[in-house]
Amino acid sequence: MTRRLVLASNNAKKLLELQALFAPLGLELVTQGSLGIPEAEEPYPTFVENALTKARHAARASGGAAIADDSGLCVDSLGGAPGVLSARYATLFGGRRDDAENNAALLRQLGDRTDRRARFVCVLAAVRGADDPEPLIAMGRWEGSVLAEPRGEAGFGYDPLMFIASLGKSVAELGAEEKNRLSHRALAARQMLQLMQEVWFGRE
C-alpha cells in the first residue's frame, strides 16, 4: 500500500493542517492541483457524499490512493446552513467566493437571532483506488456558537466567527497546534488514522 495520498483539494491551508495531522503514519500528501487534476463537482447535500465523490475523482485521475475533506459550518437556527455550501455561501446572495464575504453573509442571515449554536463538521473519505468498494470514512464535529463580529487573525473560513465557550476564544484566536489538537478536522483525522492503520497498513 502506497504511503502517498492525493489530497482532493487545492486549499493550501487545509493541506498544511492535514499534513501535520497525518504525519504519524508517514503519509505524503500531494494536492491534486500539483498533479494537474481539476476539482470535482460537489453536487450533493451531505458532506459524506461530496467527500467520497471528490476522493474517487482524485483517485481515478491519479491512478492511486486519495483522500478528500468536505467540511463546513452548520448553524442550528439556519436549518444547518451554510453546510456543504460554506465555502461559497456569499455567492447565494450575489457576493464573491471569499472568506470575508462568506462571514458577512452569515452574519446578515443570522441577524438578531439569539440562538447562535453551531458546529464545524468535517468528513474525510479515503479510497485506495477509484473503485475501492471499502472506502474509509471519518467524521468530526466541533461545537460552538457564532459571534456577532469576527475575532482573531489566525485560521481561515469561519474561524473568526466561531466561538468555543470552553476555551473563551474564537477559533481564529487559537494557535495552530491547539487548533490541530481540538478541531473537527483533527477529530476526523484521528479517526481516519486509526482506520488506515487497521484496514490499510495493518494488512501490509
Nearest residue to 125 via CA among 67, 83, 71 = 67
Give the active site residue among 70, 131, 132, 159. Answer: 70
| Alpha helices (runs of H) in 63-175, residue ranges in sequence order | 99-110
Whether the CA torsion 144, 148, 153, 156 is positive or negative: it is positive
Please measure the distance between the N-terminal and C-terminal CA atoms of the chain and give it in whole angstroms. 7
| DSSP state for residue 91 in the 8-state scheme | G
Q: What pLDDT sits at residue 177?
A: 86
Q: How far apart are CA 88 and CA 96, in angstroms?
A: 8
Q: What pLDDT sits at residue 128?
A: 94
Task: Locate 140 and state its grid cell.
Answer: 468530526
Q: How far apart are CA 159 and CA 35, in angstroms?
A: 29
The arithmetic mean of pLDDT across residues 160-170, rounded, is 97
Q: What pLDDT sits at residue 23?
A: 79
Q: What pLDDT sits at residue 106?
A: 98
Q: What pLDDT sits at residue 13?
A: 74
Lowest mean pLDDT among 14-18, 32-36, 150-154: 14-18
Active site residue 159: no
Task: Locate 189 and state its grid cell.
Answer: 483525522
What pLDDT band is residue 203 in, cutting at 50, 70 and 90? low
Residue 147 Cα to chain centre, angstroms: 20
Between 25 and 194, name the one with better pLDDT.
194
Q: What pLDDT sits at residue 201?
A: 81
Residue type, 19: Q
Q: What pLDDT sits at residue 24?
A: 78
Whole-number mean pLDDT of the chain? 92
Q: Kindly tell me if the per-residue pLDDT of 202 is higher than 90.
A: no
Domains delineated in the chain: 4-203 (3.90.950.10)
Between 13 and 44, name the one with better pLDDT.
44
Q: What is the pLDDT of residues 2-33, one digit of tens each?
A: 578 899 987 777 788 788 877 777 888 888 98
Q: What pLDDT sits at residue 85?
A: 96
